[in-house]
Amino acid sequence: MGHGMIAVVQFRPRRGARNANLEKLGALTRQALEAGAKMVVLPEMAATGYRFPNPEVVRPMSEIPRGPTWRVFGPLAKEFGAWVVIGFVEDNEGKLYNAAIVINPEGKIEATYRKRLLYIDDHTWANPGDLPYPVWTTPWGVTTLGICMDINDPRFLTHMRKTKPDLLCSPPTGSTRAATSTVTGRSNSGAGTACSRWPTAGATRTACSSRGDRQCSRLERFLPRPPPRATASGWWMSQ
């Protein structure tokens, strides 16, 4: 993993203020890139917050892949020649998805992914993802992406066994109050893992649920320990 620094961002979004949140997330990402990061992983639904009672509440904050989120982070990725992974709410012909985009160092969208294994709070508004797990090449090797509950999905574990990625980008969620990137490590596939996570009660260490732990082994941390206040906004990096 000695191919540049990977940064993970934690952030506390203001509900209903997607564009303002994007501006703040962009500023945090710029700080990480200026400090030398070559990849920045941001949380699931980073600018909207998580947990919505129905589709109509979240729909005003939804977007297409080349929407407001890409317009903030595409230029940053291009300016610094870096990779950016960020979760957002996608609207595809009226269907809503818990999605993420991968932006390459040219500022272009490398991949769009839609969460396939929905959590209970996703079922109130989101459709199950219908796109394959993306696989692309970075300086760290073969890289893939799964969102939160995906790491508990037998389909995802089969994908990991088949592709044997060197790096897994996984932006999970755990709370509606604050988003944080807290976990990175290694699965039994040998893949390093860069995760952006929403903390629950200040939790800063969980990578997989108990089911995920049994199926894909405990993820070993390689990033420094996160700040003691999991609700604070910020970022940190690892070689």
DSSP output for 114-178: E-SS--TTTTTTPPPP-SPPPEEEETTEEEEE--GGGGG-HHHHHHHHHH--SEEEE-----SS-
Global confidence as pTM = 0.80
35-72 confidence digits (pLDDT tens): 999 999 999 999 999 999 999 999 999 999 999 999 99
Q: In whole numbers, what is the pLDDT of the chain averaged over residues?
A: 78
Structure-token match 């940064």, residue found: 7
Residue 65 CB burial class (10 angstroms; 0-12, 13-18, ≥19): middle
Q: How many CB atoms lie within 10 A of CB 213?
A: 15
pLDDT score for 186: 39
Average pLDDT over residues 130-159: 94
Average pLDDT over residues 193-210: 36
Quickly state the pLDDT bin for 182 (edges 50, 70, 90).
Answer: very low
pLDDT(213) > 90: no
Closest to 143 in 3D by CA, of 109, 113, 167, 164: 167
Q: Looking at domain 5-238, which of 3.40.50.620, 2.102.10.10, 3.40.50.300, 3.60.110.10 is its CATH number?
A: 3.60.110.10
pLDDT score for 218: 28
pLDDT(228) > 70: no
Residue 64 CB burial class (10 angstroms; 0-12, 13-18, ≥19): middle
pLDDT(206) > 60: no
Would you say 99 and 132 are in contact if contact means Cβ atoms under 8 Å apart? no
Sign of the CA dihedral with 106 first, then 113, 149, and 200 last: positive
Most confident range, picked from 104-118, 153-167, 220-234: 104-118
Residue 212 CB burial class (10 angstroms; 0-12, 13-18, ≥19): buried
Question: E strand or H helix at 73, and its extent?
Answer: helix 68-80
Question: Higher model confidence: residue 95 or residue 237?
Answer: 95
